Structure 1
Amino acid sequence: MAYISTNFLLFFFTISSISFHVIFTATVIEDLNNLQPPPDFNSTITKNCITNPYLRYCNSIPFNLDEIFKSTIVASHLCNISNNTNCVESFPKIDLHSQPKIAPLYLSFTFFWKYCPLTLTSINLSNNSLKGNFPSDIFHCSQIEKLDLSHNNLSGDLPVQNFYILENLTFLNLSYNDFSESKISDKHFFERFNSMSFICSGILPNHKHFRIKAVLLLIGFPVFVISMVVFLGWLCFWRPDFLPRFLQRRNEFTMSILKAATDGFSKRNLVGKTGTVSVYKGVLRNGSEVRIEIYLDNMSRENRRRFVEKSKILVQLSHDNIVPILGWCDNRRFRALITEWIGGENIETWLSNSAPQWKQRVKVILRVALVVCYLHEEWPEVGYNLKTRNVLISENGEPMITNFRIDDHHCSAKKIYKFGMFILEMVTNKRPGKEFEKGESGFVEWVKLNYPDNMEDLIDKRMKKNGLIVSQCAEVIGFGLICTDISNGQRPSWNEILDLISSTLSIESASPDRKRLHLDSKGGHKHAHYRGSMH
């Protein structure tokens, strides 16, 4: 009796100074705004602390009179709302079950929880749609024995360690909330309370959800693995250009890569077609422009294998005047050879449209001579079609040889003959296949007929010339006739060809080009032989 009386002495003072009519009819907000502490309020709480020093506000000297007074007002209202039997003598419980309109309001009165009555042993705030984190102010009421916060929308982490403040707590109900799944390592916390305290609270894993997750994991993980295997397989076999560079198969292209590079082999990217060969311009994923030469003829497995083996040789060709061959595509439906895209026109068109002067033609002849000598010594098995329409002229005037193949029975004499024809075309600007009835043989007969007496008829009439140029043209034509002479089996060797051309074209204007040629060529150590012969 002394304990309860002392604890509520402050309530007696407040209630005796205010009519019961006001307490029961006024709202808590109105009372907090309108009521003021009585004049002797400070002495009253001082006496209370002397009588019972364990009262909570006794630990806050100097007293916050405003907060303490407000807490008594809230306590009076809470005591009545909670249907306590005698609000003056006892305050055993706070029962705001299913009162969602006022429960959040009373929870917001921090000063009440700070000085909550020591007689309070039960708090029920269930079914109030409370939101946010756990209401930590409740921990001020360290003497409580029962706490029910079930059927709310509380979320976040549960402050497990703070529950050790509530030493008398024997009943806890946090069910049906949305707390975060906590990795609570302290087993004593769950041993202290019944498992029913945490039903659908989020604190413990929901077994139904766990089963769903387990089923999803058992089904989803294999599906994920299979999908990844399929995806990686697609990358490796169809679109390896999406892989990191060190994982890509060098020089090997797939049909999907070529299809993407040409927008599905669209007509606007088709730059040429002859028989079963189609030529497309494409752009690879890395932005490189390429020339894609596609062969649609059916091939046996053995021929496809040989095509790949030959392509492996062609990609190794390395010279400034050889269009780089990037790789190949070996597909059951078609084969393709991929080279760098070189802008400009071919030599045939260049001769017809630009009418280049002798110095420019000298540069082309020297460059081509270096290339054919490089191929002869480094790659004798590599054949090429050395016609003016198959040799490109780049924007900076460099000849670029294309259209390579692997000859099973390579013939040096045949290559020398083609080189001779190329030289004759460069000087005369004539087209053997178009302007002569007998083709190449008719062209050679025409040159022989006019050489050397009618040089003016042989040399391209649009080219500016003087005596020295005419003399050099005569020597070059004579050399071309030697290369194309099939009447005897004695043709000059490749070393002799380079020596003869170098000495014949040793005019001052051509010398810088030749010297630069020697420095720029990429034929490896064997090119030292060419350089030595040209000086």
Structure 2
Amino acid sequence: MRKSSVFMIMATLSSTCYYLFVTIILSLCPITLCATVVEDLKNLHPPLDFNTTIMTNCLKNPSLRYCMGSSSMDLDEIFKFTIVASHLCNESKNPNCVESFPKIDLRNRPYIAPLYLSFGFFWKYCPLTILSIDLSNNFMKGTFPIELLHCTQIHSLDLSINELSGEIPIKGFSPLTNLTFLNLSYNCFSESELFDSQFFRRFNYSSFIHSGALLDHQRFTLKVVVLLVGFPVFVIFMVICLGWLCFHRPDILPRKLRRSSRFTPAILKAATCGFSSENLVGKSDVVHIYKGVLRDGTRVKIEMYLDDISRDGYRKFVEECKVLSELHHKNLVRVLGWCRSRTFRAIITEWTKEETVEMWLSGSSPPWNHRLKVLMGIVGCMRYLQQEWPQVDYDLNTSSLLFSDNMEPLISRFKVGDQNSNRRKICKFGVLLLEMILNKGVQAEFGGSDNGGFIRYMRSLNLADLQQMIDEKMEVTEASYYNQVKQALSLGLMCIEQSNCDQPSLAVIFNTMARAYKSNLVLPSANHRTFHGDRFKGHVLVQSR
């Protein structure tokens, strides 16, 4: 509940008591220094008869603000109010502070105005005679000083040219029914829909010039222009960026938005540091082979073909790559995808060691159980391809079979070929089986990519002749090993037979090799190169996916 004004206090206090207060206040502190107000509030205390005086005043005039509201009055607060009122009356340059207190004028007083605003008890008992409050041009910061709204009788309020921010307490102005002049211009209030409210209709536009509360038409127009022009430009820019990413660097997009098997020249260029010579690992007139690292850290091999093929040839190339990229087996070099530009086409595969089975046989002289494991991995992969991808043909030469990091044999050369070539595939395995057992002299005599001479020569020999050609580096001394090698030679001869009736099926080959491998699971010799990550662990089944 609001209290009375200082004028009413001064008018109703006994003349002796009032003049005593004024004399003490004016003699102890210069009114021109704001520090004296604080000192007065700190050092002065109500006289002993102040309570009696207040009670007498309330009996004479119950409408006084400090007489209304509560039964218990804070005499110390009321006394402080009289002190601040006396100072503020003089700071506002009122002509007669004793008889009237019509206005508060602290404009252009940036060091004093915040001090008087901080005295909440003064605004609580705001003098009823005050009709005008001017705190303009004081660089005040913070939110709207709602303490001023306790002076419900005022006619004029000027808070212009400050730095006030936040929301204007529109509802707080409702009790100020006599307010006819309001100036909140040149502040930083939050923009609100004042023009749609009854509050705005009480005043005119000049009350809110550059206050931040009203919609700035020029700024609004600028926003509309920026929105109408900037948004389409932004959309076009985003579409261009997205299109560039989709067609040039899809590897930057989330995985769900990528075409997993389609690579772009920009991706390959980034993976190889601009096709640098340091990443060039092989070169001929038709193909360049690069090593690279994709954005996700995958190491790859890029076979870049520089030949010019027809549109129909490229279509077949893409269809073949799509099929090959679907192959997943631990004994197959994985095809990750393909790429085409105006100057080349490329196949991208996982990076593997450069060691071939041929190099492994010549260099490390592996024992029979290691060779058997390699053969078991190859025949397992052959069964997977026959069951899942019968249209895929492959090469089983010792010079094309590679090793993975954990020494798993890998078929590295394959293509989409004749689905009815099972007989030829079994013949290839027979040649590989014989090459893995016989000494290098026999293989060197029939070197080259054409195995025709080697096959014809093998067909002319019997099993006893072949036993004399077994590679001595295998050191087959145990009878069980020797019997396995003889069975393998016999199986190899059956695989290269011309007659379909005499040639074993892939299922028979797999079962035969699996039985031999199962019975031969022993730890490798310390004198030979070991195989890491033995995945069989006593089982004969080979995972197909």
| TM-score, scaled relative to structure 2 | 0.83
Task: Identify if the C-alpha distance between structure 1 residues 196 and 495 changes in structure 2 by more than 3 Å, giving closer, same or farther.
Answer: farther
Q: Assess if the C-alpha contact under 8 Å between 1:278 and 1:294 holds in 2.
A: yes
Q: Which has the higher contact order (CA 8 A, sep 6+)?
A: 2
1:491 Cα deviation (Å)?
5.3
2:542 pairs with one of 516, 520, 525: 520
> 2:469 is aligned with what amino acid?
L
Q: Assess if the C-alpha contact under 8 Å between 1:362 and 1:505 holds in 2.
A: no
Task: Identify if the C-alpha distance between structure 1 residues 382 and 33 changes in structure 2 by more than 3 Å, giving closer, same or farther.
Answer: closer
1:276 Cα deviation (Å)?
2.9
Q: Assess if the C-alpha contact under 8 Å between 1:483 and 1:491 holds in 2.
A: no
2:130 is equivalent to residue 120 of structure 1: yes
Q: How does 1:152-191 map to 2 (within 5 A)?
A: 152-184=162-194, 187-191=197-201
Aligned length: 518
Which deviations, in whole Å up to 9, do the C-alpha atoms of 1:431-474 show, x marking residues without a partner? Answer: 88866578756656776788656657622221111355455545
| Aligned-partner Cα distance in 1 for 2:47–2:90 | 22
| Aligned-partner Cα distance in 2 for 1:372–1:36 | 106
| Aligned-partner Cα distance in 2 for 1:4–1:422 | 114
Task: Identify if the C-alpha distance between structure 1 residues 419 and 356 changes in structure 2 by more than 3 Å, giving closer, same or farther.
Answer: same
Which deviations, in whole Å up to 9, do the C-alpha atoms of 1:99-147 show, x marking residues without a partner? Answer: 2221112212222211121111100111111111111111121111110
What residue is the counterpart of 1:529 in the other structure? Answer: none
1:358 pairs with one of 358, 365, 368: 368
Which deviations, in whole Å up to 9, do the C-alpha atoms of 1:498-520 show, x marking residues without a partner? Answer: 53675588547547799977522
Greater displacement, 379-388 / 190-199: 379-388
What residue is the counterpart of 2:160 in the other structure? Answer: 150
Which deviations, in whole Å up to 9, do the C-alpha atoms of 1:357-400 show, x marking residues without a partner? Answer: 11222232233234335545654432222211211234555322
Q: How does 1:310-349 map to 2 (within 5 A)?
A: 310-343=320-353, 345-349=355-359
Which deviations, in whole Å up to 9, do the C-alpha atoms of 1:82-109 show, x marking residues without a partner? Answer: 2222211111111111122211122122
Task: Identify if the C-alpha distance between structure 1 residues 98 and 62 changes in structure 2 by more than 3 Å, giving closer, same or farther.
Answer: same
Unaligned runs of 5+ in 1: 524-535
2:469 pairs with one of 439, 458, 462: 458
Q: Assess if the C-alpha contact under 8 Å between 1:235 and 1:242 holds in 2.
A: yes
Which deviations, in whole Å up to 9, do the C-alpha atoms of 1:294-345 show, x marking residues without a partner? Answer: 3232322221111001112222334442233232223333222233344573
Greater displacement, 140-149 / 274-283: 274-283
Q: Assess if the C-alpha contact under 8 Å between 1:327 and 1:338 holds in 2.
A: yes
1:234 Cα deviation (Å)?
2.4
| Aligned-partner Cα distance in 1 for 2:79–2:463 | 130
Q: Assess if the C-alpha contact under 8 Å between 1:325 and 1:338 holds in 2.
A: yes
Secondary structure in 1 aligned to 2:336? strand
Q: How does 1:135-534 map to 2 (within 5 A)?
A: 135-184=145-194, 187-343=197-353, 345-376=355-386, 378-407=388-417, 414-430=424-440, 440=451, 455=466, 458-466=469-477, 469-470=481-482, 472-474=484-486, 476-477=488-489, 479-480=491-492, 483=495, 490=499, 495-496=504-505, 499=508, 502-503=511-512, 507=516, 510=519, 519-522=541-544
Secondary structure in 1 aligned to 2:116? helix
| Aligned-partner Cα distance in 2 for 1:505–1:108 | 94
1:281 Cα deviation (Å)?
3.7
2:75 is equivalent to residue 65 of structure 1: yes
Secondary structure in 2 aligned to 1:182? coil
2:27 is equivalent to residue 22 of structure 1: yes
| Aligned-partner Cα distance in 2 for 1:5–1:76 | 10
Task: Identify if the C-alpha distance between structure 1 residues 437 and 291 changes in structure 2 by more than 3 Å, giving closer, same or farther.
Answer: closer
| Aligned-partner Cα distance in 1 for 2:149–2:445 | 108
Question: Which is richer in helix?
Answer: 1
Task: Identify if the C-alpha distance between structure 1 residues 406 and 421 changes in structure 2 by more than 3 Å, giving closer, same or farther.
Answer: same
Greater displacement, 169-178 / 28-37: 28-37
Unaligned runs of 5+ in 2: 522-534
| Aligned-partner Cα distance in 2 for 1:53–1:186 | 40
> 1:14 is aligned with what amino acid?
Y
Secondary structure in 2 aligned to 1:154? strand
1:150 Cα deviation (Å)?
0.3
| Aligned-partner Cα distance in 1 for 2:7–2:406 | 109
Q: How does 1:105-116 map to 2 (within 5 A)?
A: 105-116=115-126
1:44 Cα deviation (Å)?
1.5
Secondary structure in 1 aligned to 2:160? coil
Greater displacement, 268-277 / 104-113: 268-277
1:40 pairs with one of 44, 49, 58: 49
> 2:218 is aligned with what amino acid?
K
| Aligned-partner Cα distance in 1 for 2:301–2:356 | 15
Secondary structure in 2 aligned to 1:105? helix
| TM-score, scaled relative to structure 1 | 0.84
Task: Identify if the C-alpha distance between structure 1 residues 6 and 311 changes in structure 2 by more than 3 Å, giving closer, same or farther.
Answer: closer
> 1:15 is aligned with what amino acid?
Y
> 1:51 is aligned with what amino acid?
K
**Aligned residues: CA RMSD:** 3.5
| Aligned-partner Cα distance in 2 for 1:106–1:503 | 104
Q: Assess if the C-alpha contact under 8 Å between 1:253 and 1:327 holds in 2.
A: yes
| Aligned-partner Cα distance in 2 for 1:41–1:129 | 38
1:191 Cα deviation (Å)?
0.6
| Aligned-partner Cα distance in 2 for 1:403–1:508 | 25
Q: Assess if the C-alpha contact under 8 Å between 2:392 and 2:419 holds in 1.
A: no
Q: Assess if the C-alpha contact under 8 Å between 1:366 and 1:514 holds in 2.
A: no
What residue is the counterpart of 1:100 in the other structure? Answer: 110
